[in-house]
Amino acid sequence: MGGASRGRGSDPARAAARPAAQERASGERRQSAALPSRAMLPWTVLGLALSLRLARSGAERGPPTSAPQGDLLFLLDSSASVSHYEFSRVREFLGRLAALLPLGPGALRASLVHVGSRPHTEFPFGQHSSGSAVQDAIRAAVQRMGDTNTGLALAYAKEQLFAKEAGARPGVPKVLVWVTDGGSSDPVGPPMQELKDLGATVFIVSTGRGNLLELSAAASAPAEKHLHFVDVDDLHIITPKLRASILDAMWPQQLRASEITSSGFRLAWPPLLTTDSGYYVLELAPSAEPRTARRQQLPGNATGWTWAGLDPDTDYDVALLPESNVRLLGPQRLRVRTLPEETGPERIVVSHARPRSLRVSWAPALGPAAALGYHVQVGPLLGGAAQRVEVPAGRNSTTLQGLAPGTAYLVTVTAAFRSGRERALSAKACTPEGERSRAPRPPPPGAGGREP
């Protein structure tokens, strides 16, 4: 034992060479561990191929869903009906709103169009690439004056929002923000409906002098979310809510419902597929009866569908299922509640008839959740000027004043609904004759005074 110990200790060269040999052996073991054996090589190649395919699949998904995308068009009333002070306040409001939005080339883009005698583009989509740049451009805008031809400007806005020549992008959400003092020299309803039918979301900000029924019909449904009445000095109050609503409407790959009525609604979504890459399956079922689902298959280039024939005042669960042969896309789900039934007046009662007034009542009385309100029109049956009275939802009677005595009238009560439709009922009524001057009655016999 001792000799052996002495022999190992007495060979310095062998002792010095041992650590080097151990290091080489350790390195060879590490190298052999790092390199796959010949038997494992096919599995390693397969794993690398799968990793590359998954990476490619993730890249095909496009931008992350946390980045809103869309084209935002500001429609600014720049006509002579707006005072210079009001114009400056609205201009400042839009500038601050733009500064709070994530504007950029690959995300939200903005454009500004003036309402006047003729529409005028202040700046098109893509000209400014940041919120601060858009804010500066809005602040530099000059009032155009002229007539308030909003309908003409809306037709022009449709071309700006959907025409590639104007810088608009296909397949991204479209949002219109219209700031108005409430008046227009031409009809607004038809061009606004065309915009909404094409999938645009319409927000309206009125400084307080607009007609509630007309503006509610013009804005996207529900009006409570898309229509704001506010004083021109208090516009800053609605900025956070309006910003959140705009971003909500521009979220990519988001299933959205619009044009909600008592019997149906329209669904819209950005293009996720193409005709060659797959198809969509839409599912619809009442929330209380999920087993009674309806299904509709749509081609890969579809971006919208309208469900009709639904029950009023009912919750529906909607699912959009993209079936792709290129990449995996998850379903999108939404719950939509139809509006209460659009039941118009069914009975009109005329009471408290006076020579110059009539009391008009009707049934049923619809609350604000069911109708926007009523308008009551009365005109002489034999022709003449008619008058109209606006009655808010929740009330079912009004008194018509300023009528002519002894005259037959046609009274029409019209209920206006959030869908833009109206239901009317008419009845005839007559004011009584006014009091005629009468000759004094003779005193009864024996009632006179005695002769002195």
Q: Which residue has the higher pLDDT, 251 or 88?
A: 88
Full set of structural domains in the chain with CATH: 70-249 (3.40.50.410), 256-337 (2.60.40.10), 347-430 (2.60.40.10)
Question: pLDDT above 70 covers what percent of the chain?
Answer: 79
Q: State the pLDDT at residue 126.
A: 83
Express each pLDDT in 108-163 by its tens digit.
899 999 999 999 999 988 888 888 999 999 999 999 998 889 999 999 988 888 77
Phi, psi of 99 (to 5 degrees): -65, -25
Mean pLDDT of 344-365: 90
HEC-encoded secondary structure of the chain: CHHHHHHHHCCHHHHHHHHHHHHHHHHHHHHHHHCCCCCCHHHHHHHHHHHHHHHHHHHHCCCCCCCCCEEEEEEEECCCCCCHHHHHHHHHHHHHHHHCCCECCCCEEEEEEEECCCCEEEECCCCCCCHHHHHHHHHCCCCCCCCCCHHHHHHHHHHHHHCHHHCCCCCCCEEEEEEECCCCCCCCHHHHHHHHHCCCEEEEEECCCCCHHHHHHHCCCCHHHHEEECCHHHHHHHHHHHHHHHHHHCCCCCCEEECCCCCCEEEECCCCCCCCCEEEEEEEEECCCHHHCEEEEEECCCCEEEECCCCCCCEEEEEEEEEECCCCCCCEEEEEECCCCCCCCCEEEEEEEECCEEEEEEECCCCCCCCCEEEEEEEECCCCCCEEEEEECCCCEEEECCCCCCCEEEEEEEEECCCCCEEEEEEEEECCCCCCCCCCCCCCCCCCCCCC
Percentage of residues in the chain having pLDDT higher than 90: 42
Mean pLDDT, to the nearest integer, of 173-193?
87
Q: Which of 7-11, 166-170, 291-295, 391-395 has the highest mean pLDDT?
A: 291-295
Tell me: the pLDDT tens digits for 327-350?
Answer: 667 788 889 999 888 788 889 999
**pLDDT tens-digit map of 392-421:** 988 899 999 999 999 999 999 999 887 677
pLDDT, one tens digit per residue, over 210-240 is: 788 888 888 988 788 899 999 999 999 999 9
Q: Assess contact for 428 and 409: CB atoms under 8 A.
A: yes
Considering the chain, what is the average pLDDT of its residues?
A: 80
Confidence band (pLDDT; 50, 70, 90) for 46? very low
